[in-house]
Structure 1
Amino acid sequence: RGVATALAHELIKNLKAIGVRTIYTLVSWDDWDLLQFFHAMGFTRGDLINLELKI
């Protein structure tokens, strides 16, 4: 198991312990490695979308 995976599991364990039930994150669509990492951690596509306005 890699360091990032171990840290993520520890974070999730600690968040559960304090009552957090949902974790949200933002990932760029072109960052396939990070998308795969979060998918492997059990993350799925949520009901929210990210909106932005460049000015």
Structure 2
Amino acid sequence: MSKKPTKARPNKAKSLIAQPLFRCRQEQPGKGKGSYRREAFQSRDWEASYFLAA
């Protein structure tokens, strides 16, 4: 029995780290410095919020 040539496989650890699960990401704070979210104030349904405020 002769050995079959093996294909070069990527390193298992490198492939795990490359997954999106292990990517660095910062959590946005709920309150305080850096918590301002611009999208929250540009609501598409502005009419409903206008009538609720009035």
Same fold by TM (over 0.5)?
no
> What TM-score, normalized by structure 2, do the two folds share?
0.20
- Looking at secondary structure, tell me which structure has more helix per residue: 1
Larger RCO (CA within 8 A; separation ≥ 6): 1
Of structures 1 and 2, the larger Rg is shown by 2
> What TM-score, normalized by structure 1, do the two folds share?
0.20
